[in-house]
Structure formats: C-alpha cells, structure tokens
Amino acid sequence: MRATPRHCFAPHEYAAQAYADKPLPIGHGQTISQPFIVAVMTERLGLAPHHRVLEIGAGSGYQAAILAQLSAHVTTLEIVPELAARAAATLHSLGYHNVEVHHADGYLGWPPGAPYDRILLTAAPAAIPQALVEQLCPNGRLVAPVGGSLKNQKLLVLDKDSAGHTSTRRILPVRFVPMVRGG
C-alpha cells in the first residue's frame, strides 16, 4: 500500500487527505474505501503471484492497483460508466498494465475471464450473487461485504474447496455502499 499513490486516485480537491485513514468521495455518490478496510480485505484474500482476480466495484481503481501488485491479473467491473473510464485512465497512466476495467454489472460477474482464483466485492449486495460463486475456481476464495441495510453488513469470506463445496465465515461488521442492480 505504501507503493500505491492514493492521491492519484482521489479527486484533486481531496488529494491533501489522501493518506488519512478514511474513505473519500469520488463523485456519483461513491467513495474510495478507507485504507484500513482495503488492507483487511486484501489480506483476507490470501493472494498469490499467479492468481487471477475479479473485483466488483472499480470505483477510483485504487483497490485494483493494490490487487494488481500482488497477483497476475485483475479484472475489475464498475457500473457507473464515468467512474469506469476514469479508473481505467488512472490505472493506465500509472503503469498498472495487468488490470482490465469494464463498465459492467457485477451481479453477472465477467464470464469471459472466468474462473477466478479470488473475487473481491467492494459494494454490498444483500446476498452473495450466485453467478460470482459459479465463476470462482475450486480452492478459490471470495471476500464480500454483505447485508441488506447499512446497519447490518458483515464482511464475509467464502471458500470453495477442491470438490466445489462452499463454506462461509463472518469476519467483522462493515459499512459499504450498496451494490446496485444494472438496468
């Protein structure tokens, strides 16, 4: 995270606060997540250098930049087209060439790149979308904030074993923007 210039992902007017441990607005009612929670989720993913990763909720591209430094390839999906375009431009300008950004609805995942060794959600659905579980490799892991209301969200870790069976653990209470449905 020290190697990642967070000020380049934050809007100009918030650049001075970019290294404070707090979320920052990125427009369109969305935020760049608090560094502490980015660290917790990244750590929980247990990334290896050969992993292929899917992120739902590109936002500013900051979390994708962290993932890109710890894995082989990152596909990140963003439902707000302007944010997707900005994240792609920022990541490209900083030289993160193993990340692809798509304007797409994360509820459907990204089948052309599946299966993924790791999947990370940075917006909260009411329940883990089945399409994402299907796009996870055997021995894969998905980390997601889950909960229908802001007050009732938990960070979940879902593991898929070599036979395809899944098990889920709750890690800690969190507060993420809701994952919205595509049109």
| Residues near ligand SAM (CB under 6 A) | 30-33, 56-57, 59-60, 62-63, 77-80, 83, 105-107, 122-123, 176-177, 179-180, 182
Q: How far is the CB of 163 from ligand SAM (least distance, A)?
A: 29
Q: How far is the CB of 165 from ligand SAM (least distance, A)?
A: 26
What six digits make up the tokens of 174?
A: 């969190």
**Has 33 been annotated as catalytic?**
yes
Alpha-helical (H) ranges within the chain are 35-45, 62-68, 81-93, 130-134
**Quick one: 163 or 182, whose CB is closer to ligand SAM?**
182
Cβ within 8 Å of residue 69, ≥6 positions away: 3, 4
Q: What length is written for the chain?
A: 183
**Quick one: 77 or 156, whose CB is closer to ligand SAM?**
77
Catalytic: which of 33, 60, 71, 167? 33
Q: How far is the CB of 28 from ligand SAM (least distance, A)?
A: 6
Q: What residues form DSSP beta bridges with 25?
A: 31
Q: What number of other Cβ atoms are within 10 A of residue 37's Cβ?
A: 19
Active site residues: 33
